[in-house]
Structure 1
Amino acid sequence: MTRTVHPIEQESYAILRARADLSALAPLSRAVVERVVHASADLDYVDDLVLDEPALDAAHAALRAGAPVVADVEMVAAGITRREVVCRVRDPRAADLARGAGLTRSAAAVRLALDEVGPGAVWVVGCAPTALVELLALDARPALVVGLPVGFVGAAESKAALRASGLPAVSNASEKGGSAVAAAALNALLYAEVP
Protein backbone atom coordinates (compact mmCIF):
# COMPACT_ATOMS: atom_id res chain seq x y z
CA MET A 1 0.00 0.00 0.00
CA THR A 2 1.44 3.33 -1.04
CA ARG A 3 1.53 5.90 1.73
CA THR A 4 0.32 9.46 1.13
CA VAL A 5 2.91 11.93 2.43
CA HIS A 6 1.63 15.22 3.81
CA PRO A 7 3.26 18.41 2.43
CA ILE A 8 4.59 19.30 5.90
CA GLU A 9 6.38 15.96 6.06
CA GLN A 10 7.76 16.51 2.55
CA GLU A 11 9.09 19.91 3.58
CA SER A 12 10.58 18.48 6.78
CA TYR A 13 12.45 15.83 4.78
CA ALA A 14 13.70 18.47 2.34
CA ILE A 15 15.10 20.49 5.25
CA LEU A 16 16.65 17.38 6.78
CA ARG A 17 18.29 16.41 3.49
CA ALA A 18 19.65 19.94 3.06
CA ARG A 19 21.30 19.68 6.48
CA ALA A 20 22.59 16.11 6.29
CA ASP A 21 23.68 14.14 3.24
CA LEU A 22 22.65 10.56 3.92
CA SER A 23 22.80 9.43 0.30
CA ALA A 24 25.74 7.11 1.00
CA LEU A 25 23.67 5.00 3.40
CA ALA A 26 22.03 1.78 2.26
CA PRO A 27 18.28 2.15 1.61
CA LEU A 28 16.81 0.84 4.86
CA SER A 29 19.52 2.40 7.02
CA ARG A 30 18.83 5.72 5.36
CA ALA A 31 15.08 5.28 5.87
CA VAL A 32 15.56 4.60 9.59
CA VAL A 33 17.98 7.50 10.13
CA GLU A 34 15.77 9.92 8.23
CA ARG A 35 12.59 8.89 10.02
CA VAL A 36 14.26 9.10 13.45
CA VAL A 37 15.75 12.52 12.70
CA HIS A 38 12.42 13.68 11.27
CA ALA A 39 10.58 12.50 14.43
CA SER A 40 13.07 14.05 16.84
CA ALA A 41 14.46 17.06 14.93
CA ASP A 42 17.79 15.87 16.30
CA LEU A 43 20.60 15.53 13.76
CA ASP A 44 22.83 13.91 16.40
CA TYR A 45 21.09 10.64 15.53
CA VAL A 46 22.89 10.63 12.18
CA ASP A 47 26.08 9.62 14.01
CA ASP A 48 24.49 8.06 17.11
CA LEU A 49 22.35 5.32 15.55
CA VAL A 50 23.89 1.87 15.15
CA LEU A 51 22.40 0.04 12.17
CA ASP A 52 23.08 -3.10 10.18
CA GLU A 53 21.57 -3.20 6.69
CA PRO A 54 21.36 -7.03 6.45
CA ALA A 55 19.49 -7.11 9.78
CA LEU A 56 17.15 -4.39 8.53
CA ASP A 57 16.59 -6.30 5.26
CA ALA A 58 15.68 -9.45 7.20
CA ALA A 59 13.38 -7.53 9.55
CA HIS A 60 11.71 -5.76 6.62
CA ALA A 61 11.00 -9.15 5.06
CA ALA A 62 9.74 -10.53 8.37
CA LEU A 63 7.37 -7.58 8.78
CA ARG A 64 6.07 -8.03 5.25
CA ALA A 65 5.46 -11.70 6.07
CA GLY A 66 3.41 -10.71 9.13
CA ALA A 67 5.87 -10.97 12.02
CA PRO A 68 4.25 -9.74 15.24
CA VAL A 69 5.39 -6.42 16.67
CA VAL A 70 5.83 -6.04 20.43
CA ALA A 71 6.27 -2.73 22.26
CA ASP A 72 7.53 -2.14 25.78
CA VAL A 73 5.01 0.61 26.58
CA GLU A 74 1.77 1.97 25.19
CA MET A 75 3.40 5.21 24.02
CA VAL A 76 5.59 3.19 21.67
CA ALA A 77 2.62 1.11 20.54
CA ALA A 78 0.57 4.26 19.88
CA GLY A 79 3.30 5.63 17.62
CA ILE A 80 3.41 2.56 15.38
CA THR A 81 0.90 3.38 12.69
CA ARG A 82 0.71 0.47 10.27
CA ARG A 83 0.52 -2.58 12.45
CA GLU A 84 -1.33 -3.96 15.43
CA VAL A 85 1.11 -4.06 18.32
CA VAL A 86 1.31 -6.39 21.31
CA CYS A 87 1.92 -4.44 24.52
CA ARG A 88 1.22 -6.11 27.85
CA VAL A 89 2.44 -3.42 30.27
CA ARG A 90 -1.13 -2.64 31.41
CA ASP A 91 -2.13 -6.28 31.65
CA PRO A 92 -2.96 -7.02 35.32
CA ARG A 93 -0.85 -10.16 35.05
CA ALA A 94 2.20 -7.95 34.39
CA ALA A 95 1.68 -6.11 37.66
CA ASP A 96 1.24 -9.41 39.53
CA LEU A 97 4.31 -10.94 37.90
CA ALA A 98 6.36 -7.81 38.56
CA ARG A 99 5.51 -7.89 42.28
CA GLY A 100 6.13 -11.62 42.57
CA ALA A 101 9.39 -11.72 40.60
CA GLY A 102 10.85 -8.37 41.65
CA LEU A 103 10.69 -6.97 38.12
CA THR A 104 9.49 -3.72 36.66
CA ARG A 105 6.10 -3.93 34.97
CA SER A 106 7.77 -3.38 31.62
CA ALA A 107 10.10 -6.33 32.18
CA ALA A 108 7.20 -8.51 33.31
CA ALA A 109 5.24 -7.43 30.22
CA VAL A 110 8.13 -8.66 28.04
CA ARG A 111 7.75 -12.13 29.56
CA LEU A 112 4.00 -12.14 28.95
CA ALA A 113 4.39 -10.92 25.39
CA LEU A 114 7.04 -13.52 24.58
CA ASP A 115 4.71 -16.27 25.79
CA GLU A 116 2.12 -14.88 23.40
CA VAL A 117 4.17 -14.18 20.25
CA GLY A 118 7.05 -16.65 20.46
CA PRO A 119 10.18 -16.38 18.29
CA GLY A 120 10.43 -14.25 15.17
CA ALA A 121 8.75 -11.10 16.48
CA VAL A 122 10.01 -7.56 16.06
CA TRP A 123 10.52 -5.97 19.50
CA VAL A 124 10.40 -2.20 19.94
CA VAL A 125 11.76 -0.81 23.22
CA GLY A 126 11.66 2.95 23.55
CA CYS A 127 11.08 3.64 27.19
CA ALA A 128 12.23 1.00 29.64
CA PRO A 129 15.84 -0.18 29.78
CA THR A 130 14.61 -2.93 32.12
CA ALA A 131 12.39 -4.28 29.33
CA LEU A 132 15.40 -4.48 27.03
CA VAL A 133 17.52 -6.18 29.69
CA GLU A 134 14.72 -8.71 30.31
CA LEU A 135 14.36 -9.40 26.59
CA LEU A 136 18.09 -10.08 26.35
CA ALA A 137 17.84 -12.57 29.22
CA LEU A 138 15.14 -14.58 27.45
CA ASP A 139 15.33 -16.91 24.46
CA ALA A 140 13.20 -14.63 22.28
CA ARG A 141 14.95 -15.28 18.94
CA PRO A 142 13.65 -11.99 17.51
CA ALA A 143 13.54 -10.93 13.89
CA LEU A 144 14.78 -7.56 15.14
CA VAL A 145 15.09 -5.57 18.34
CA VAL A 146 14.62 -1.83 18.06
CA GLY A 147 16.36 -0.96 21.31
CA LEU A 148 16.14 2.78 21.85
CA PRO A 149 15.19 3.30 25.50
CA VAL A 150 15.90 6.73 26.95
CA GLY A 151 17.32 7.81 30.27
CA PHE A 152 20.27 8.34 32.55
CA VAL A 153 19.86 5.03 34.40
CA GLY A 154 20.59 1.93 32.39
CA ALA A 155 19.63 3.16 28.92
CA ALA A 156 23.08 3.38 27.34
CA GLU A 157 24.16 0.21 29.16
CA SER A 158 21.13 -1.79 28.00
CA LYS A 159 21.76 -0.71 24.40
CA ALA A 160 25.43 -1.68 24.68
CA ALA A 161 24.31 -5.08 25.96
CA LEU A 162 21.95 -5.39 22.99
CA ARG A 163 24.77 -4.69 20.55
CA ALA A 164 27.05 -7.15 22.38
CA SER A 165 24.35 -9.85 22.25
CA GLY A 166 24.68 -10.31 18.50
CA LEU A 167 20.91 -10.09 18.02
CA PRO A 168 19.70 -8.22 14.94
CA ALA A 169 19.16 -4.72 16.23
CA VAL A 170 18.68 -1.01 15.82
CA SER A 171 20.21 0.92 18.69
CA ASN A 172 22.17 4.02 19.50
CA ALA A 173 25.23 4.68 21.61
CA SER A 174 23.98 7.53 23.79
CA GLU A 175 21.38 7.88 26.53
CA LYS A 176 19.01 9.42 23.98
CA GLY A 177 16.03 7.55 22.69
CA GLY A 178 12.40 7.41 23.66
CA SER A 179 9.02 6.23 22.53
CA ALA A 180 8.74 8.53 19.51
CA VAL A 181 12.24 7.63 18.32
CA ALA A 182 11.68 3.88 18.69
CA ALA A 183 8.30 4.05 16.95
CA ALA A 184 9.85 6.13 14.15
CA ALA A 185 12.56 3.51 13.58
CA LEU A 186 9.96 0.76 13.27
CA ASN A 187 7.68 2.91 11.09
CA ALA A 188 10.59 3.46 8.72
CA LEU A 189 10.68 -0.28 8.10
CA LEU A 190 6.91 -0.51 7.78
CA TYR A 191 6.76 2.39 5.31
CA ALA A 192 9.78 1.30 3.24
CA GLU A 193 8.93 0.19 -0.26
CA VAL A 194 12.20 -1.61 -0.81
CA PRO A 195 11.74 -4.88 -2.75
Structure 2
Amino acid sequence: MTRATVHPIEQESYRILRSRLDTSHLPPLTRAVVERVIHSSADLEYATDLVCDEASLTAAHAALHAGAPVVADVEMVASGITARRAVCRLSEAKAGPGLTRSAHAVRLAFEQVGPGALWVVGCAPTALEELLRIDAAPALVIGLPVGFVGAAESKAALRASGLPAVSNVSEKGGSAVAAAALNALLYTPAPDRTEENQ
Protein backbone atom coordinates (compact mmCIF):
# COMPACT_ATOMS: atom_id res chain seq x y z
CA MET A 1 0.00 0.00 0.00
CA THR A 2 1.34 3.43 -0.86
CA ARG A 3 0.08 6.80 0.24
CA ALA A 4 -1.20 9.19 -2.41
CA THR A 5 0.15 12.31 -0.75
CA VAL A 6 2.96 13.06 1.64
CA HIS A 7 2.57 15.99 4.01
CA PRO A 8 5.03 18.88 3.41
CA ILE A 9 6.33 18.58 6.99
CA GLU A 10 7.20 14.93 6.37
CA GLN A 11 8.90 15.84 3.08
CA GLU A 12 10.96 18.48 4.88
CA SER A 13 11.85 16.03 7.65
CA TYR A 14 13.23 13.56 5.11
CA ARG A 15 15.11 16.34 3.32
CA ILE A 16 16.80 17.33 6.59
CA LEU A 17 17.49 13.70 7.47
CA ARG A 18 19.18 13.09 4.11
CA SER A 19 21.21 16.28 4.44
CA ARG A 20 22.65 14.95 7.71
CA LEU A 21 22.96 11.27 6.85
CA ASP A 22 23.85 9.55 3.58
CA THR A 23 21.64 6.49 3.22
CA SER A 24 22.05 6.16 -0.55
CA HIS A 25 24.35 3.13 -0.20
CA LEU A 26 21.69 1.07 1.61
CA PRO A 27 19.54 -1.48 -0.25
CA PRO A 28 16.03 -0.14 -0.94
CA LEU A 29 13.97 -1.73 1.83
CA THR A 30 16.72 -1.40 4.42
CA ARG A 31 16.97 2.27 3.49
CA ALA A 32 13.20 2.68 3.80
CA VAL A 33 13.20 1.12 7.27
CA VAL A 34 16.24 3.04 8.51
CA GLU A 35 14.96 6.37 7.23
CA ARG A 36 11.43 5.93 8.59
CA VAL A 37 12.73 4.87 12.02
CA ILE A 38 15.03 7.91 12.11
CA HIS A 39 12.22 10.15 10.84
CA SER A 40 9.96 8.91 13.66
CA SER A 41 12.57 9.33 16.38
CA ALA A 42 14.87 12.15 15.18
CA ASP A 43 17.69 9.86 16.30
CA LEU A 44 20.44 9.47 13.70
CA GLU A 45 22.15 6.78 15.79
CA TYR A 46 19.62 4.26 14.49
CA ALA A 47 21.62 4.26 11.25
CA THR A 48 24.27 2.17 12.98
CA ASP A 49 22.09 0.61 15.70
CA LEU A 50 19.49 -1.08 13.49
CA VAL A 51 20.12 -4.60 12.18
CA CYS A 52 18.29 -5.36 8.91
CA ASP A 53 18.65 -8.05 6.26
CA GLU A 54 17.49 -7.03 2.78
CA ALA A 55 16.55 -10.57 1.75
CA SER A 56 14.35 -10.97 4.83
CA LEU A 57 12.78 -7.57 4.22
CA THR A 58 12.09 -8.45 0.59
CA ALA A 59 10.29 -11.67 1.54
CA ALA A 60 8.38 -9.91 4.33
CA HIS A 61 7.42 -7.05 2.01
CA ALA A 62 5.95 -9.55 -0.44
CA ALA A 63 4.04 -11.34 2.34
CA LEU A 64 2.73 -8.07 3.74
CA HIS A 65 1.51 -6.84 0.36
CA ALA A 66 -0.08 -10.25 -0.26
CA GLY A 67 -2.18 -9.76 2.88
CA ALA A 68 -0.22 -11.49 5.65
CA PRO A 69 -1.56 -10.57 9.09
CA VAL A 70 0.24 -8.10 11.32
CA VAL A 71 0.47 -8.61 15.10
CA ALA A 72 1.44 -5.87 17.57
CA ASP A 73 2.50 -6.43 21.16
CA VAL A 74 0.65 -3.36 22.50
CA GLU A 75 -2.10 -1.02 21.34
CA MET A 76 0.37 1.87 20.95
CA VAL A 77 2.20 -0.13 18.28
CA ALA A 78 -1.08 -1.16 16.65
CA SER A 79 -2.24 2.48 16.61
CA GLY A 80 0.99 3.59 14.96
CA ILE A 81 0.53 1.19 12.05
CA THR A 82 -1.41 3.57 9.91
CA ALA A 83 -2.32 1.63 6.77
CA ARG A 84 -3.24 -1.80 8.14
CA ARG A 85 -5.25 -3.08 11.08
CA ALA A 86 -2.97 -5.01 13.43
CA VAL A 87 -3.99 -7.81 15.78
CA CYS A 88 -3.30 -7.01 19.44
CA ARG A 89 -4.62 -9.35 22.14
CA LEU A 90 -3.08 -7.66 25.19
CA SER A 91 -6.43 -6.44 26.57
CA GLU A 92 -7.62 -10.07 26.82
CA ALA A 93 -4.38 -11.51 28.18
CA LYS A 94 -3.83 -12.54 31.78
CA ALA A 95 -0.61 -12.96 33.69
CA GLY A 96 0.08 -16.31 35.33
CA PRO A 97 2.92 -18.15 37.03
CA GLY A 98 5.99 -17.48 34.89
CA LEU A 99 3.88 -15.78 32.24
CA THR A 100 3.45 -12.03 31.74
CA ARG A 101 0.35 -10.53 30.14
CA SER A 102 2.48 -9.64 27.12
CA ALA A 103 3.65 -13.23 26.72
CA HIS A 104 0.09 -14.53 27.06
CA ALA A 105 -1.03 -12.01 24.43
CA VAL A 106 1.52 -13.49 22.03
CA ARG A 107 0.03 -16.96 22.57
CA LEU A 108 -3.49 -15.64 22.01
CA ALA A 109 -2.46 -13.79 18.86
CA PHE A 110 -0.69 -16.83 17.43
CA GLU A 111 -3.80 -18.94 18.02
CA GLN A 112 -5.67 -16.35 15.94
CA VAL A 113 -3.25 -15.69 13.07
CA GLY A 114 -1.12 -18.84 12.81
CA PRO A 115 2.20 -18.96 10.93
CA GLY A 116 3.34 -16.42 8.35
CA ALA A 117 2.42 -13.22 10.20
CA LEU A 118 4.53 -10.11 10.65
CA TRP A 119 5.09 -9.52 14.37
CA VAL A 120 5.83 -6.00 15.64
CA VAL A 121 7.20 -5.76 19.19
CA GLY A 122 7.96 -2.27 20.43
CA CYS A 123 7.28 -2.39 24.14
CA ALA A 124 7.59 -5.71 25.92
CA PRO A 125 10.78 -7.80 25.90
CA THR A 126 8.72 -10.66 27.37
CA ALA A 127 6.50 -10.62 24.26
CA LEU A 128 9.58 -11.03 22.10
CA GLU A 129 10.93 -13.78 24.35
CA GLU A 130 7.62 -15.67 24.15
CA LEU A 131 7.53 -15.31 20.37
CA LEU A 132 10.95 -16.97 20.26
CA ARG A 133 9.65 -19.87 22.40
CA ILE A 134 6.74 -20.79 20.15
CA ASP A 135 7.02 -22.14 16.62
CA ALA A 136 5.39 -19.09 14.99
CA ALA A 137 7.13 -19.37 11.60
CA PRO A 138 6.88 -15.58 11.12
CA ALA A 139 7.27 -13.74 7.85
CA LEU A 140 9.19 -11.13 9.87
CA VAL A 141 9.74 -10.11 13.47
CA ILE A 142 10.25 -6.42 14.07
CA GLY A 143 11.80 -6.64 17.52
CA LEU A 144 12.41 -3.17 18.89
CA PRO A 145 11.34 -3.26 22.55
CA VAL A 146 12.70 -0.51 24.74
CA GLY A 147 14.03 -0.57 28.28
CA PHE A 148 16.83 -1.31 30.67
CA VAL A 149 15.49 -4.72 31.72
CA GLY A 150 15.67 -7.43 29.11
CA ALA A 151 15.29 -5.30 25.98
CA ALA A 152 18.82 -5.58 24.57
CA GLU A 153 19.01 -9.23 25.62
CA SER A 154 15.71 -10.17 23.95
CA LYS A 155 16.84 -8.48 20.72
CA ALA A 156 20.17 -10.32 20.83
CA ALA A 157 18.21 -13.57 21.24
CA LEU A 158 16.07 -12.65 18.24
CA ARG A 159 19.16 -12.12 16.09
CA ALA A 160 20.65 -15.39 17.32
CA SER A 161 17.43 -17.27 16.50
CA GLY A 162 17.92 -16.97 12.75
CA LEU A 163 14.33 -15.75 12.26
CA PRO A 164 13.79 -13.03 9.64
CA ALA A 165 14.01 -9.88 11.69
CA VAL A 166 14.57 -6.19 12.17
CA SER A 167 16.14 -5.34 15.50
CA ASN A 168 18.62 -3.01 17.10
CA VAL A 169 21.59 -3.55 19.34
CA SER A 170 21.00 -0.97 22.08
CA GLU A 171 18.36 -0.69 24.83
CA LYS A 172 16.44 1.94 22.92
CA GLY A 173 13.43 1.26 20.76
CA GLY A 174 9.74 1.69 21.49
CA SER A 175 6.28 1.69 19.98
CA ALA A 176 6.87 4.58 17.58
CA VAL A 177 10.00 3.14 16.00
CA ALA A 178 8.56 -0.39 15.79
CA ALA A 179 5.45 0.90 14.04
CA ALA A 180 7.65 3.06 11.79
CA ALA A 181 9.63 0.01 10.66
CA LEU A 182 6.43 -1.77 9.66
CA ASN A 183 5.03 1.36 8.00
CA ALA A 184 8.20 1.60 5.90
CA LEU A 185 7.34 -1.77 4.38
CA LEU A 186 3.69 -0.83 3.94
CA TYR A 187 4.46 2.46 2.18
CA THR A 188 7.19 1.12 -0.09
CA PRO A 189 5.54 0.00 -3.32
CA ALA A 190 6.08 -3.50 -4.60
CA PRO A 191 8.78 -3.61 -7.29
CA ASP A 192 7.60 -3.53 -10.87
CA ARG A 193 8.52 -7.05 -12.04
CA THR A 194 8.02 -6.11 -15.68
CA GLU A 195 10.72 -3.46 -15.44
CA GLU A 196 13.05 -5.91 -13.67
CA ASN A 197 12.63 -8.48 -16.43
CA GLN A 198 13.43 -6.07 -19.30
TM-score, structure 2 as length reference? 0.94
Cα distance between partner residues in 1 of 2:188 and 2:25: 17
Contact preservation (8 Å) 1:76, 1:125 = yes
Deviation at 1:103, TM superposition (A): 1.1
Deviation at 1:138, TM superposition (A): 0.3
In structure 2, runs of 5+ residues without a counterpart are: 192-198
Deviation at 1:21, TM superposition (A): 0.2
Deviation at 1:104, TM superposition (A): 1.0
**Deviations 1:93-150, CA, capped at 9 Å, x for gaps:** x11xx22x43111110000000110000000000000000000000000000000000
Deviation at 1:193, TM superposition (A): 1.3
In structure 1, runs of 5+ residues without a counterpart are: none
Alignment equivalent of 1:132, drawn from 123, 128, 132:
128
Alignment equivalent of 2:149, drawn from 147, 150, 153:
153
Contact preservation (8 Å) 1:27, 1:194 = no
Deviates more, 1:2-11 or 1:39-48: 2-11
Contact preservation (8 Å) 2:65, 2:190 = no
Deviation at 1:25, TM superposition (A): 0.2
Cα distance between partner residues in 2 of 1:113 and 1:155: 21
1:14 aligns with 15
Cα distance between partner residues in 1 of 2:123 and 2:140: 17
Cα distance between partner residues in 2 of 1:84 and 1:104: 24
Contact preservation (8 Å) 1:72, 1:124 = yes
Cα distance between partner residues in 2 of 1:143 and 1:173: 21
2:18 maps to amino acid:
R
Cα distance between partner residues in 2 of 1:174 and 1:192: 26
The alignment status of 1:142 with 2:138, answered yes or no, reads: yes
The alignment status of 1:84 with 2:80, answered yes or no, reads: no
Q: CA RMSD in A?
A: 0.8
Q: How does 1:30-179 map to 2 (within 5 A)?
A: 30-91=31-92, 94-95=93-94, 98-99=95-96, 101-179=97-175
Identity %: 78
**Deviations 1:72-113, CA, capped at 9 Å, x for gaps:** 00000000011111000001xx11xx22x4311111000000
Contact preservation (8 Å) 1:67, 1:122 = yes
Cα distance between partner residues in 1 of 2:177 and 2:100: 22
Cα distance between partner residues in 2 of 1:138 and 1:170: 18
Cα distance between partner residues in 2 of 1:181 and 1:21: 20
Deviation at 1:2, TM superposition (A): 3.9
Contact preservation (8 Å) 2:144, 2:155 = yes
Cα distance between partner residues in 1 of 2:90 and 2:62: 27
Contact preservation (8 Å) 2:62, 2:190 = no
Deviation at 1:194, TM superposition (A): 3.8
Cα distance between partner residues in 2 of 1:155 and 1:2: 31
TM-score, structure 1 as length reference? 0.96
2:116 maps to amino acid:
G
